[in-house]
Structure 1
Amino acid sequence: MNPLMAARAYAAAQGAGGASAGAAVAEAGGGEFSQLVQNAMTDMTQATRAAETQMIQTVQGQSSMIDVVTAVASAEASLETVIAVRDQVIQAYQEIMRMPI
């Protein structure tokens, strides 16, 4: 999976074909890839915090276990997306470094 494919997958997961998803994919091909990665990191952080909040509410008896499972699954999907993008960026960098000058 190349970084553009990862960007498309992330945009599809976020917008499900909406206008913002198309803009994110268009930006991924240009100079705004760093913004896409930053947004993915922010979304991952927010999903993780939401999962933590759901866990605390469940322990306090204010929420159900299904809410916790849903929040944790969302946080896990966000984390896997960020890790996949990171791995692809590292792989692309390594390939560029192997290119002859």
Structure 2
Amino acid sequence: MITSSIAASAYDRARQAVAPAEGLPQGVTTAAADFSKVMDQVDIAATGAMTGKSDTHELVQSIAQAEVALETAVAIRDKVVEAYQEILRMPV
């Protein structure tokens, strides 16, 4: 049976696994840090809304910001994959 403590520890391990890597170009590192900060704000707002310490309006705003950040990250990822595939198609 999955308990809340097991789910919380699994979530914590997953967050560490997707942390920005070291040695990336400055722009990529900054973008990854900004994305991580937005996701942290959503976590804080969600926890606050569940415990009754924050307003649900704040949660909705955080979720909307996270959605925009995630869509941006996915669009960037798609462009990187597309560029990589185009490089692979080039004759050597």
Per the TM superposition, whether the score is higher than 0.5 is: yes
Pairwise CA RMSD: 1.6
Looking at structure 1, the residues matched to 35 and 75 of structure 2 have their Cα atoms a distance apart, in angstroms, of: 13
Q: Bigger radius of gyration, 1 or 2?
A: 2
Partner of 2:52: 61
Runs of at least 5 residues in structure 1 that lack an aligned partner in the other structure: 1-32
Deviation track 1:39-87 (CA, whole Å, cap 9, x = no partner) reads: 2222111111111101111122221111001011111111111111111
Looking at structure 2, the residues matched to 60 and 90 of structure 1 have their Cα atoms a distance apart, in angstroms, of: 40
Task: Return 68-77 or 54-63, whichever deviates more.
Answer: 54-63
Looking at structure 2, the residues matched to 35 and 96 of structure 1 have their Cα atoms a distance apart, in angstroms, of: 23
Moved over 6 A (4+): none
- How many pairs are equivalent? 69
Name which of 32, 40, 65 aligns with 1:49.
Answer: 40
Name which of 74, 80, 84 aligns with 2:75.
Answer: 84
Indicate the percent of aligned positions where both proteins have the same amino acid: 36
The structure with higher relative contact order (CA 8 Å, sep 6+) is 1
Please, what TM-score do these two structures have when normalized by structure 1? 0.61
Amino acid of the residue matched to residue 86 of structure 2?
A: E
